Structure 1
Amino acid sequence: MKTRKINSTVVGHNHQTAPTQFLDVNGTDFAYRSFGRDKGIPVIFLQHFTGTMDNWDPVLTDAIALQHPVILFNNRGVSNSKGTTPTTVSEMAQDAVAFIKSLGYTKVNLLGFSLGGFIAQQIAADYPDLVNRLILAGTGPIGGKAIAQLESSLEKAMADGPERVLINLFFSKTPTSIKAGEAFLARLSERKQDRDPQLSQETFANQAKAIVAYGLADHQDYSQLKSVSQPTLIVNGNEDIMVDSINSYIMLQNIPNSRLLMWSDSGHGALFQYNLDFAVEVNAFL
């Protein structure tokens, strides 16, 4: 059953119980879940390549929701959101902005992870009045180092079988990081009902095209980063094999009002390995 609610979180719910709602955005239904505080500037979560709302760490989202309204959503064509997934980051950013404005918000905080971080940067640069503060996790700038090498990273991650892909991509090869990855996967399975369907092959392919194009773009002057005026928190692990960790330093050097938090013994999914630490940093930053 579809429920619709505009410009309000579903009070009394958390990550595991918030119902999936649908919002008509220019004739296309977007799936989303909202929970946490019912007042304040919301935190809009922008998800990684192939991810859905069910791929966010519930410990992380619930800790942020204690102090802020939280909104998770599936962008155009992703999982149970309708329409066709675009093949460019700029189009994905336009869809996300249309969704945010359709909710009735004129000011939001953006938390973008990986591909979601690409989208968040685009929104912050193109719609500066919409974005209050920006959080960029496991991500990098347009034209950043090794971002276009997506296929190689996926092939390596698949070596141990599909059930280990997220651990191989998001966590370091150390025993402590692998253990954290296994705990992360267990948390992702805790929501039992009203879960998102898997992505279609078309969405997978279109997101991959967008990432490769983003990585190959000629932006060595980092003009987009320099145009980001919002206070920005950059976070990553020291061994990110998806979006090389050096990209976090590049963002720090070029976003005028930014700070960098980096954890050792961690990778692309450092925000999930150190979920409570990350949430504390986010809440303090916001």
Structure 2
Amino acid sequence: MTSTAHTSATAPTQHLDVDGNRYAYRRFGATGSTPMVCLQHFTGTLDNWDPAIIDELAKDREVILFENAGIGGSSGAVPTSIDGMTQHALRFVDALGLPKLHILGFSLGGFLAQNMAIARPDLIDRMVISGSAPEGGEGAGMDRPELVAIYVDATMPMSKKLKHLFFPATSAGQAAADAFVARLGMRTADIDPPAGPDVAPAQLSAMIAWANWKGDVAGKLARIPHRVLVTNGDNDTMIPTKNSFVLAAGLPNATLIVYPNSGHGAIYQYASTYVAHVREFLQQV
């Protein structure tokens, strides 16, 4: 196993041209084992991945941070459906020539992970789905008025939005939020463009349609035989925690971990513990 010297703070942004779209991505870490493709949350860019998670996971394997169409440094229009986002992700990994991969799907990224596993089961080895929901999941559209008011507030800095949305209003939660925001500031060069004004409406439209799906939730989840680690905080106010229980119950080969006194950003609040859980899951025989 060999490793690059790059980290979240230094890995260069690369671009891959596929079928008229230019996808931005960063790829670094230890080679020689199955790489992990990381699929980001609502309006998140390459710079929103937590170094405390990504850099640690990169010690064991390559991590590939992918930016879907129309986000940050990627070209094209932002898809208004999860299927559209899924197709872009599959074109990207096919163009990279990856024969097998793991997926870490956070929030919206977890929606894509499920569809990718169904569309291309032989491509996926294992998946980590955090802070997410099945198609048809209650509240998974994130369109409640109290949330939308924060999304559209142009006067609120992104750091403050993340603190409000991802962390509990406890002293421990806000201390974890401050530490997380500080870690995001470690990258000082080759900064990714922030999500533009078209991103949130398009992604919300896709997420609302996903949540409002009236199909067979259990039947769809049963079509995903892969090993899956499902995680969340015990009080996720963005994508309600109950959805993680539905995922764990419906996926045939799932493990569920719920972190205490935390919300949507539990993976950041418990970064070192989360990494240990993910690493153990990926290394299981």
TM-score bin (small chain): over 0.9
Task: Name the stretch that deviates more: 251-260 or 170-179.
Answer: 170-179
Tell me by how many angstroms 1:153 deviates.
4.2
- 2:105 counterpart of 1:112: yes
CA deviations on 1:178-204 (whole Å, 9 max, x unpaired) are 110111011111100001101121222
- Tell me the CA shift for residue 27 of structure 1: 2.5
Name the residue aligned to 1:101.
94
The structure 2 residue matched to 1:224, chosen from 207, 220, 236, is 220
**Pair 1:87 & 2:83 matched:** no
- The yes-or-no answer on 1:161 pairing with 2:156 is yes
Of 266, 270, 283, the residue aligned with 1:270 is 266
1:69 aligns with 2:62: yes
Does the CA contact (< 8 Å) of 2:141 and 2:204 recur in 1? no
1:188 aligns with 184
Two-structure CA RMSD over aligned residues (Å)? 1.6
Partner of 1:75, secondary structure, is coil
Contact conserved, 1:107 with 1:130, CA < 8 A, in 2? yes
Alignment of 1:115-264 (within 5 A): 115-155=108-148, 157=150, 161-162=156-157, 163-264=159-260
Structure 1 residue 17: Cα displacement: 0.5
Given that 1:47 and 1:113 are in contact with CA atoms closer than 8 Å, whether structure 2 keeps it comes out as yes
Q: Which whole-Å CA distance do the structure 1 matches of 2:95 and 2:132 have between them?
A: 27
Identify the match of residue 278 of structure 2 among 279, 282, 286: 282
In the alignment, structure 2 segments of 5+ residues that lack a partner are none
CA–CA distance in structure 2, aligned partners of residues 210 and 141 of structure 1: 13
In 1: Cα distance, 2:142 partner to 2:72 partner: 24
Which of 9, 23, 32 is equivalent to 1:30? 23
Q: In structure 2, how many angstroms separate the alpha carbons of the residues matched to 1:26 and 1:175? A: 48
Contact kept? 1:10, 1:34, Cα under 8 Å: no
1:72-119 deviation digits (Å, cap 9, x = unpaired): 021111111011111000110111011001001021000000000001
- In structure 1, give the amino acid aligned to 2:275: A
CA–CA separation in structure 2 for the residues paired with 1:266 and 1:42: 29
More divergent stretch after superposition (43-52 vs 155-164): 155-164
Matched position secondary structure for 2:31: coil
Identity among equivalent positions (%) equals: 39
Q: CA deviation at 1:157?
A: 4.0
CA contact (8 A) 2:234 2:259 kept: yes
Matched AA of 1:106: P
Which whole-Å CA distance do the structure 1 matches of 2:129 and 2:146 have between them? Answer: 20
Find the residue that maps to 2:75 and give its secondary structure. coil
CA shift at 1:51, angstroms?
0.2
Q: CA deviation at 1:208?
A: 1.1
Question: Take 2:204 and 2:179, find their aligned partners in 1: how far apart are those partners?
Answer: 27
The 1:118/1:153 distance shift into structure 2, 3 A limit, reads: farther
Deviation, 1:155, is 3.6
Residue ranges of structure 1 left out of the alignment (5+ in a row): 1-8
Residues 77 and 149 from structure 1, CA distance in 2 versus in 1: closer, same or farther, beyond 3 angstroms?
A: closer
| Letter paired with 1:161 | M
The size of the alignment, in residue pairs, is 278
Moved more, 174-183 or 152-161: 152-161
Alignment partner for residue 18 of structure 1, among 11, 33, 36?
11
Quick one: structure 1 residues 256 and 49, their matched pair in 2 at CA, closer, same or farther if it must change by over 3 Å?
same
Residue of structure 2 equivalent to 1:47? 40
Alpha-carbon distance in structure 2 between the residues aligned to 1:275 and 1:64: 11
